[in-house]
Amino acid sequence: MKIVMAAAECAPFAKAGGLADVLGALPKELSRLGHEITVIIPKYSLIADKYVSEFVLKETMELFFKGQQKTFRVFEYEQAGVNYLFMEYDDYFKRDQIYGQSDDAERYAFFNRTVLEIVQQRSLEPDIIHVHDWHTAAILLLLKEDSRYESIKSAKAVLTIHNLQFQGKYSKKTFLENFEMDARYYDEGLVEWDGNFNSLKTGIFYADKVTTVSPTYRDEILTDFYGEKLNSFLQEKEQDLIGILNGIDLEVYNPAADLSIVREFDVMSMEGKQVNKRAIQLKAGLPERGDVPLLTMISRLSGQKGIDVLQEVLPDLLSNEDVQFVLLGSGEEQYETFFKELDIDFPGQVSINIGFDEAFAHLLYAGADIFLMPSHFEPCGLSQLISMRYGTVPVANKTGGLKDTVLEYDEDLKSGNGFLSDFSKDSSFDLALQRCLTFYQQSDHWEAIKKNGMKGDYSWSRSAAEYAELYESLI
């Protein structure tokens, strides 16, 4: 099949979160299955020179947008059987960051239209156009309703929701100005929801199939609690809503061949894990002790990620237990302040690292004992998959992809790969963490938990096969 994917980010070129990891891995797996894959993203100025130096300029195109003729360029890069196309328009995408710009609505509306221009003018003739999250969701409106794209209308449309919280909500005026479509699309409720133009809702409406990044998240977003005010509309599309669990790139995350860690290891020979633990302690300025449980969290610091839960749990834990804690992440000021104060209050026990460092992240996955994920919701989550791949035991909340991938350890069967809470009083995150620490002191059980995690199948091959089956069912 010929498949075109469009997204706002794609690893390793431009990454703000898990969406980039999906776009970095899924197309490669689909290519291995024999499909012809093209990925289109904006050419951001933050893309590393080592990639840009290998981009090949293919076309210069023109597009009438917001009353002006705009010229953009298309660059090509091929890797692992995937054809990557980068749309360059500096006025919108020569920026220091991917998201959070005051003109995001305009920037991505322009990108939406350029994607279809590229597909049509390059005669890509896709069987499937697969878009991701709100930034590209409105491509499906243009595909189905704009007469300029008549030659590619036969393509089937798939939308993946990576996080329902972000929907791209803007005014009717913004919709009319940026998409130059008849007002009836808004007035008749095709692109409107709850009094706004809603980019994600638009994509859901026009998609032939909608996927989420885990089966549990698919079910959750149909409810009031997780549905972000779109659940009643999603219920109307329920028969076309499918949950497919994300995987991770096993070449990027491989403890037996990871150049970012100090000592490689695998499930048959795990001595290297202790070497990496000592390297973390040395780098973090913590006492180099092999016997103390080393807890870590690598995360965006936001309400979704359950930092409020750690505000309740961590001070008591550090006061009463002999543990170490290392954080790597950044985000909301209130949470950064909490962790900085924690660093001051517990010298020699805590290391707080605000920001992001890819190599240090790999070392933390490889050398830590316990990985904390108290998320209030988690569409899929990649960190728990990566941590288990490296023999680091997750303690997580039972939601979304965490529920689908973290299995509570059973000491009688020696089955399971982690510990779960559901935030109720009887099953709080604190109790899940205490269960984990209890088993940490029992070496036979602890070795079983680590090995169960490392033996799990977290590859994209399974998920890619499910996507391919979905595509085939449409065409």
d(CA 216, CA 237): 16
* Tokens 């917001």, located at residue: 66
d(CA 362, CA 252): 10
- First-last CA distance in the chain: 9
* Residue 173, annotated as binding a ligand: no
* Tokens 């080393």, located at residue: 294
60: left (phi over 0), alpha (psi -120 to 50) or beta: beta
Burial class (CB in 10 A: 0-12, 13-18, 19+), 469: exposed
> One-letter amino acid identity for 428?
S
Give which of 215, 250, 235, 131 is closest to 466, Cα–Cα: 215
d(CA 250, CA 248): 6
Cα distances from 441 to residues 206, 332, 472, in angstroms, run 54, 35, 50
State the binding site: 15
State the binding site for ADP-alpha-D-glucose: 15
